[in-house]
Structure formats: C-alpha cells, structure tokens
Amino acid sequence: MTLAEKRKLGSVLVVGAGVAGIQASLDMANSGFYVHLVDRSPSVGGIMAQLDKTFPTNDCAMCVISPFLVEVGRHLNIHVIPCSELERLDGEKGDFKATIVNHPRYIDTEKCTGCGQCRQVCPVVAINEFNCGLDLRKATYIPYPQAVPLAYAIDRNACIGCGMCEKVCLAGAVTYDDKTKITELEVGSVILAPGGEMYDPKEADSWSYSHPNVVTSLEFERILSASGPYRGHLMRPYDREEPEKIAWLQCVGSRDINRAKNSHCSSVCCMYAIKQTMIAKEHSAHELDTAIFYMDMRTYGKDFDKYYSRAKEERGVRFIRSRVHSIEPVENGNLRLRYVKESGESVEEIFNMVVLSVGFKPSSGVETIAKKLGLTLNEQHFFRTGDIRPVATSRDGVYVCGVSHGPKDIPQSVMEASAAASVATSDLSSARWSATRTPQLPPETDFSKMVPRIGVFVCNCGINIGGVADVPAIREYAKTLPHVVHVEDNLFTCSQDTQERMKQVIREKNINRVVVASCSPRTHEPLFQETIREAGLNKYLFEMANIRDQNTWVHKNNPDLATAKAKDLVRMAVAKAEYIEPLHQVKLDVKPAVLIVGGGVAGMEAALGAAEQGFQAYLVEKTDTLGGMAHQLRKTWQGEDIPAYLERLIKDVTNHSKIQIFLNTKPVHFTGTIGSFTTTLNDIHTGNPNGIIEHGAAILATGGREYRPEGYQYGNRPDVMTHLDLDQAMKDTPATVMNADTIVFIQCVGSRNSDRPYCSRVCCTHTLKNAIELKKIKPGMNIFVMYRDVRSYGFRESLYQEARALGVHFIRFDPENPPQMNIAENNILTITVTDHILQRPIVISPDLVVLAAAVLPNENKELFELFKVPVNAEGFLVEAHAKLRPVDFGSEGLFLAGLAHYPKSIDESIAQARAAVSRAVTIVSKDGIMVGGVVAAVNPDRCAVCCTCVRACPYGIPFIGNEGHAVIQQAECHGCGVCVSECPGKAITLQHFTDQQLIAKTRALFYQPAMNE
C-alpha cells in the first residue's frame, strides 16, 4: 500500500483508566472517535478515587471525579474493558491491531446489577487494597461504592468456592468458570496512561514502617476519608486512639538514591502533605500538632504558595527543614524522631503517629508495556518523552500521559491527557465519526394536552428491596394513586428483559409518564430514560423513587416502616410525575473553526493542533511577529534546541492552509454562545477592522513576560542581568559571560513576596540549567546560587544533582534576610548573604549577578473583559476547576493555555496548548450542540427587569435583552436554579424542577390521595 492508501481507523485505545485515561477517553469520544478503555483493575478511577481531598482547594476528590466516572461508564462511544491488559501491538500509526488479555472477573458485568447481595453472603474476608490494607473486604467485592462499572468481582485468591454468591445472585451473573480471554482490537492510535504507584517503604528498612502507627500518605488519605476504614474519624491504627501529634516525613522514596534508589522528585508530596495537615486538623476534635520534615518546600503550582503560607501562618503547621535520621518506636505506640535542625542542634521529639510522604514510582505495568511495545524508558523507569513533543513516545502512533512518564499532580495529568487525545487523533481526523455509534430512536410521541397516564415499575432488586420491604404491598398501593394506569413489580427493573417489557407496556397502554421505584437516579436514571425514549417518550417524562439506597438498605431492621416509607416515596414520585413535561433540546449550529488569541508558542501550537484536526484556525497576534517569549529562550530543560523548534513551528503555522494569521491585530468585539461565536478583529495601529470571524470555540494564549526587577541595581549596571538577559548574552556575546570568574544567581526575585505571592516555577530549573552549562564550559568558574527552596520538581531534580556534582554552591536565604548588594566606591559589587549552615554572613564579589526574575502574565484587561474571563489577584487567567478542568474557562466554549494561566516551562505550555485544542475540538467537531433540558426559562410577562437573576447567577449568564426582559441562553445555563429561587416576580422556572413539581412532591408526602377510580 502506498502512503496515501493507508487505512486510518476511527477508534483508539487508552490503556489505564485513572484520571488521565478517563480524560483522554472522554475528549476523544466527545470529538468523534470510538474509545476502548482498558484497565487492569475491576473498575476505573485510579489513585484519585482513593484520595480524600485535593489541594489547593480542599475539594472532596470523590465529588469531583465521580461525574467523570459516570460519564465514562455511560458513554455510548467508550468501551470500558476492566480486568484487562494490553498484550501486544501490531501494525503502525493509523492502523494498529491491539491484542488484549481479559482476565476472568467471575461475575458477568453485563448481568450484574450491583445489588451487592453476593457480598452480603460471602463468608471470606480479604485485605481491602482500596483502603490500603487498613481494613478487610469480602472475596466478592466492589472496590468502592461509586465504582464504574458498577459490577462486583470475585477475588479468586481469597475465594473458597463455597458457591453462596452464585446461589443468591438472582441475576445469574456469577460465572465461576470464567476464563482468561484474548480479544483483538483495531485502533488508529494508542494512549498509554497506566499511571504510577506509591513507593513502598518496605523496600528499605529505614522508617520503622512495620510499626502500625507509621503509615504512608496514601494510607493516611484513606484514614481521613469519610468512606475510609475509620469513616473519617482521625485515629491511628495501633490502638484507634486519636493522635495529638503527627509528623510528616517528606521525600520518602524520592530524591533519595541511597535508600530508595529514586533520584527524582515526586512533585506532589509537599502539597499533599500540607493538605493532609490541614484536613487532619479539621478532623481532630482537639488541637492537633502537625509537623512536616522536609528538604525543600516545593509548592510551585498555581495558588500553591498561598496554600503553604496559609498552613504555616493561619493553621500553625510546623515546617521543619530537616531530614529525620531515625524513627524509633517507644512506649504507648508512640514514635521518637531524631533530627538535626539547620542550626546543627540535635533534637528528639515524640509523635503519636508518623506519615511517610511516599513518592511516585511508575506503575508495574509501565515496564511490561514498554517491553511489549518496544518503548524507551528513562533512567527512572518511566516512559521517556521529550520537551517539544511532550506526550509522544518513541513509537509513532503511541502516546503517553499522566504519571507513567513522570510524577505530576492531577491538573497536569488531565492537561496531558487532553494533549495526548489531541495529538493521537490529529492524524485520524479523516476517520472522525466513522467508528462511533449514534442511537437510532423513534420519533417522540406528542402527549401535549393529554391527561397523565402514569406507569409505575417497582423493583425487587433481587432481594435488596423485596427482602426488606413488602414489594407486592407497594405495588398494590401504587395502583391507588391518581393517574396511575399500570403498575408492575420486577425482579430487576434494570435487566435487559424488563427494559424490553417496559417499552412494550408503554406502547400498549399509552403510558405518557413513567415512574421507577428502585435504586438511585444517580446510577440508573440515564438507563431508564434511554429505555422510555426508545419507546417514543421524551426522556424527561420520567421520575424515580429511591426505595433501595435510601430505604431498604438503610432500614433493614424495620421492614414495616421501610414499606411505609417506600409508599411515601412512590406517592411523591407519582405526584411530581403528574406535572412533569417533555423538554425538547434544541440543536444549535456549530462553526467548525477555532479562534486563538496570542501568537506565542502556546498560541501557535493550538492553531496548528486545530488545523491538524481539520478545523479552520484563526490566529490573532497583537505584535508584528509570531513566537512571543520563546524567541528569548535557547534550550528546553532537557537540552532540546528551542530556536530550531520555533523556526519550524512558525513555518508550519504560516504555511498551513487551514490557519489564517492576523498580526498587529486585536479582538474588539465578541458575541455568541458555545459553538457559535462572532469576533470582530481590528488592526491595532489603524483601528480599522481586520475581519469578522465566526468560530465555535476560542483559546486564549495571551502569554506572559519576565519581571523587570526593581533593586539589585538592575538596569544600572551591565553585570546585573535577568535570566533572559543571560540567555541573550550567551547567544550574542558569550565572551562577556565566560570572562566572569564568579557568578551569583539570586532566586525568587519578584516571586514569592507579598506583591506576587506565587512561585514562578521555571526559575530554579533555568538557573540549574545555566549553571551547569557554564560549569561545563568553564569548570573553574565559581557559581553561587542563592535560593529559598530549590524547586527542581520531577526529573528536573537530576539537574540539581548534576549542578551540585559540578561544584555549584547553593546558599539558602530567608525571605526576611535576602542577599544584600553593595557597591563600593571603586564600583566593586559585592553580595552579602547569611549562610544557614555556617550561621554567618558570607560576602561574595561576583563578576556577574543573574536575577531569577518572576514570570508575570501579560496585562490584557480589555481583552479579558471582552471575553468575560476571570483573572486572579496576580493577573493570571482562572480556569473552570483547578483539578479536572485546567484548560477550560467557566464560560463554555472558551479555553486557555500557556503563561497566561500560570508560569510554566515550554513543554508544559505545548501540552496545555494541545490540551486546549482537544477541549475545543469536542465542540467544533460536532455538527450541532444540543441545548435545553434542565435549564432556566424566563417568562417575559412576569419579568420585572429587576436584574436579580443577573446578579444572582454564579456564572453571569442572564442579561436584560433588547426586548425588555431577562434572557437566559439555554446553551449557557448550568441549570443550578439559583436565579429561579431568587426571582421576585417568579418569572423564571427551572425546567424539570419547577415550583409546581417540587411543591406537588412535597404536598404528596403529607396527603393520602383519594382512591383511584
């Protein structure tokens, strides 16, 4: 076959269903590709599902991730393949054949309803891995209650084969004879997201980990979790006493080549330790003393430094810069820690509990996959990736994201996942929508003006409901309720055959409202809605009564009251059903184009990404050149050539037929909603219009700049320069730099202070890289780095090691006592700094002083107001959610990338730009956006144009339209209903949650209706 004839497949494979794998799958499935999502474990979710809270917002991890889990589980174009592994990959980019090994689960996920009866009867207990072994589970188990797929599995290592589960399973889902199977999948590309594992302190005998009160940080997450082994009650494992004093030991298994043989920094431990101290303090009934023992506090991400100072200043967390050299069990289950303070003083302190902040190591799957697929690993056994192609592996068509190619936090993983989704599908764009499924549905029947005819289906859920409540009595009772024309009870209402029957009954009896009394709408409403839709009913003509999760499961001991309550709940559901109405979603056209504002690396990568995906890209730049800040950089941290990359990128962007570039241009007018925006562009100099463009999404990549330092004689002397000045000098006049015998680097100039309380993230790495280069050229040069914390996160730690090995001197200073510059009368410059180890001031006379100046966002007040996007106090753009929506804005259809979001290295900017493309493509790849449903609707007659909704809406969606009443665009409304409850004229309704419906439901609890005729 010639190149042109090569087959491009419209399906993709994702290996690993942690948060990265989930995000990549959703992005691709939502932009026209069929996704096979493979995971070794019985359910999706990865490590994030085990976390209690997430930094720096302290959001509940499960609350944040579970909507994503549900979406993956129900997505028509995501095929979740649990208990499975990738065995081999043949073929090439665009046309792979993947061989998958499906391990036996012993329970058929198609049949299992998740009722849990099997677990109830299982006589065997086993270690509960989900709770890190802190408690036990049954051999028949589900990893956690929110698991997707919601199906049980049998742990055959623990199972004694008693057959109890098979006997009680009324769905017939237990399959003891389940065997390993092999499946083959045809996919166009592969994304690997097998993730990481936490370092096991048992590997080295250094931390008394065998003591029950020494736990790893992940174990501590489970201890804090409300659904964990202690139900959120802060206790130590040894005696279940509430600890009063807890120590955290940082860098366990990280930055440690002696004990753990891991040189990398795990990037997340500083932050999660701070989080754990704060959450533990909240959980503790008494004053809890928390101490973190650390080497460098690496709070380098967005809002991290503020979080750190909050812990220190407001919560009284003790931060002790010291490595603990021994942990010794003493009486009462306590532990004695010995450490040496920076001042050299030896200290002994007793703690009730010790948490080991364990680092990341690659998941055991990484090495296996690498071998099977022929991929290169780095020295730390993670997948090897470069900076300029940050998510590409050594094999074409195979991409990587998440922790498997380097330790990172959730937002970074999510960003990379989207980036991988974007690059993995850009070559497959010709096959978009070719492998996806679309539901074939009959037209909806029009029931308007017809009296309600309600059908009620009461579920026994095996014996989960029927074993406690009197289902026949509930069924008979439901018959007496108004407008009810059909009632039946089912063994499993959710089973395939009942679904078919339900459709048949709806048609036969002309049922126009359906009530199911079973489990939770959170898990099952979409299924039933699909079913009634298949029977020609609008999916909103549906209501559920939760008589299992919120009734029989919690009132087991009181069958009579459970039956009575079930009747109440059914009556309430029927009462609401009487008033529910069909809601019709409207399809809005989508303009298949993306606007990108900012022509730096992030903007260009975004434009190129969108164009490669087959969409028109409009790239708007306010200056007369593309490239932005990158023009001033020389090499990435791994040493890749930036000027050559930039030249290539500018050429690609300029020559791409789908990219239209507007230089010297700024947007001056912006209107529209997701999928269909209109932006007017003006020439920045003449003020004349440059064009009016229509686009379905927009990406803001407005960049940043280097801070021009005040002080340190910057600008007055040629021997004081910033990093970018140094880079320029190295390029233009290297001799001026190399003549120097002594160079001082001063870190955090303009960062981490009261004006800019954030870490500029890139400066430590930049300093290390330059120091190494200088030392290599001129080994005799004296190089001093004056720092507060060396923040060489991830593999960048290797630069720190190398710099030290090359003899670079590192001197730490306190913010209260920064390095002082003196200019003597003879114009000789000296720097004085207090050395913490020597405890005395050191005076250095450098030939050159390099200031690690802060990274600032570009000021674009007008532009940001035009797009109505928020900025934080420091001027950085604010994303929709710090964890799971790191490139989205709160306003739908708008995305961000690059330095405008936060300081970051070029590889991170590229990844974020590609991620923004992925997110934008989920919109522009569709031929229409469905809007409506559970959204607010304004009744113009009642509107008093009082602006209450305008002010109350948390998203700023309502406005007063030209017609003289409030307007709430269906496409933009998030459906929370705040405006509805505030509106003084009762002019707004939240569809499907109207006053009438909810008051009817309320009333029904207290009124027994008259008998139905």
Partner 1 sequence: MIVADRKPLVEIQEMVANSRKILVIGCKGCVTVCNVGGLKEAEILASSLRIGRNKNGKPMEIDETVLERQCDPEYIAQLKDKVGNYDAVISMACGVGPQFLSEAYPEQKFFPAVNTKFFGGAVQHGIWEERCAGCGTCVIHHYDGLCPIARCSKSLQHGPCGGSSKGKCEIANDVVCIWDLIVRKKMEQGRLDDLRLFQPAKDWRTARDGGPRRSIREELAS
Partner 2 sequence: MSQDFEPQILAFCCKYCAYAAADLAGSMRLNYPPNIKVIQVPCTGRVDIIFLLRAIEEGADGVYVAGCLEGECHFVGGNLRARKRVNYVKKTLAELGIEPERVEMFNLSSAMGPRFAEIAIEMTDRIKKLGPTPVCRLAG
Residues from 699 through 738 that contact partner 2 (CB under 8 A): none
Q: Pick between residue 777 and residue 947 the one whose CB is nearest to partner 1.
A: 947
User: CB of residue 112 vs partner 2: minimum separation in angstroms?
Assistant: 15
Residue nearer to partner 2 on the CB measure, 386 or 975: 975
Instruction: Using DSSP bridges, classify how beta strands 959-960 and 966-967 pair: parallel, antiparallel or unpaired.
Output: antiparallel
Binding test (CB under 8 A) with partner 2, winner from 212, 961, 975, 985: 975
The nearer residue to partner 1, 507 or 942, going by C-beta atoms, is 942
Burial class of residue 238, CB neighbours in 10 A (0-12, 13-18, 19+): middle
CA distances from 651 to 479, 627, 641, 910 (A): 73, 11, 16, 17
Paired sense of beta strands 11-15 and 189-192, if any: parallel
60 touches, from partner 1, partner 2, none (C-beta below 5 to 8 Å by class): partner 2
DSSP, collapsed to helix, strand or coil, labels residue 313 as helix
Which residues contribute to the site for partner 1 (CB under 8 A)? 942, 944-948, 951-952, 982-986
Nearer to partner 2 by Cβ, of 708 and 951: the residue is 951
Site for partner 2 contains 529 (CB under 8 A): no
The HSE-up count of residue 300 (CA atoms within 13 Å, CB side) is 30
> Nearest to residue 677, comparing CAs of 395, 494, 894?
894
Q: Which runs of E-coded beta strand occur in 522-564?
A: 542-546
Nearer to partner 1, 325 or 951 (CB): 951
Contact 56, 232 (CB under 8 A): no
Name the segment binding partner 2 (CB under 8 A); options: 484-492, 541-549, 789-797, 818-826. 541-549
* Residue list 878-917, contact with partner 2 (CB under 8 A): none
The distance of closest approach from Cβ of residue 939 to partner 2 in the complex, given in angstroms and rounded to an integer, is 16
- The helix/strand/coil state of 307 is helix
842 binds, among partner 2, partner 1, none (CB under 5 to 8 A by kind): none
The beta strands (E) that lie in 725-870 are given as 742-749, 782-787, 809-812, 820-823, 829-835, 840-844, 848-853, 855-857
**Shortest distance, CB of residue 942 to partner 2, whole angstroms?**
15
Q: At what angle do helices 19-29 and 61-74 cross, to 10 degrees?
A: 40
Q: Which residues ranging from 140 to 179 are in contact with partner 2 (CB under 8 A)?
A: 145-146
Closest approach of Cβ 1004 to partner 1, in Å?
17
Q: Which does 997 bind (CB under 5 to 8 A by kind): partner 1, partner 2, none?
A: none
Which of partner 2, partner 1, none does 838 bind, CB closer than 5 to 8 A by kind? none
Q: How far apart are CA 137 and CA 147, in angstroms?
A: 15
The whole-angstrom separation of Cα 725 and Cα 634 is 12
Contacts of 710 (CB under 8 A, 6+ apart): none
Alpha helices in 236-298 (DSSP H): 269-283
Task: State which of residues 6, 67, 371, 865 lies at the interface with partner 2 (CB under 8 A).
Answer: 67
Residue 806 or 950 with smaller CB distance to partner 2 = 950
Q: Quick check: 686 binds partner 2 (CB under 8 A)?
A: no
Shortest separation between residue 1007's beta carbon and partner 1, angstroms = 14
Joined together, the tokens standing for residue 808 give 């670079």
Q: Which residue lies nearer to partner 1 by CB, 420 or 979?
A: 979
Q: Under the criterion CB under 8 A, does residue 58 sit at the interface with partner 2? A: yes
Please identify which residue in 121, 127, 663, 976 interacts with partner 2, judged by CB under 8 A. Answer: 976
Site for partner 2 contains 226 (CB under 8 A) = yes
Question: Of the two residues 553 and 864, which places its CB atom closer to partner 2 in the complex?
Answer: 553
Return the residues of window 979-998 that contact partner 2 according to CB under 8 A. 980-982, 990, 993, 995, 998
Contacted by 951, from partner 2, partner 1, none: CB < 5 to 8 Å by type: partner 1
| Near partner 2 by CB under 8 A: residue from 77, 208, 225, 277 | 225
Instruction: Let me know if 529 is exposed, middle or buried by CB neighbors in 10 A (0-12, 13-18, 19+).
Output: buried
Q: Which of 520, 625, 671, 1012 binds partner 2 (CB under 8 A)?
A: 520
Cα–Cα distance measured from residue 576 to residue 953, given in angstroms and rounded to the nearest whole number: 26
Spatial distance between the Cα atoms of 199 and 52, rounded to a whole number of angstroms = 19
Residue 947 binds which entry of partner 1, partner 2, none, CB below 5-8 Å type-dependent: partner 1
CB of 14 to partner 2, least distance (A): 25
Would you give the binding string for partner 2 spanning residues 549-568, x where CB under 8 A is met?
Answer: xxx-xxxxxx--xx-xx--x
Instruction: Give Cα 204 distance to the centre of its chain.
Output: 32
Integer CA distances (angstroms), 879 to 610, 620, 860, 924, in order: 20, 21, 16, 20
Q: Could you say which residues in the range 92-111 bind partner 2, by CB under 8 A?
A: none
Q: For partner 2, which residue of 6, 7, 63, 441 counts as binding (CB under 8 A)? A: 63
Sheet-wide strand order for 84-92: 84-92, 95-102, 181-187
> Which run of H or of E encompasses 907?
helix 906-924
Where does this chain bind partner 2 (CB under 8 A)? 52, 57-63, 66-67, 116, 145-146, 225-227, 231-232, 520-523, 546, 548-551, 553-558, 561-562, 564-565, 568-569, 572, 934, 952, 954-955, 974-978, 980-982, 990, 993, 995, 998-999, 1001-1003, 1005-1007
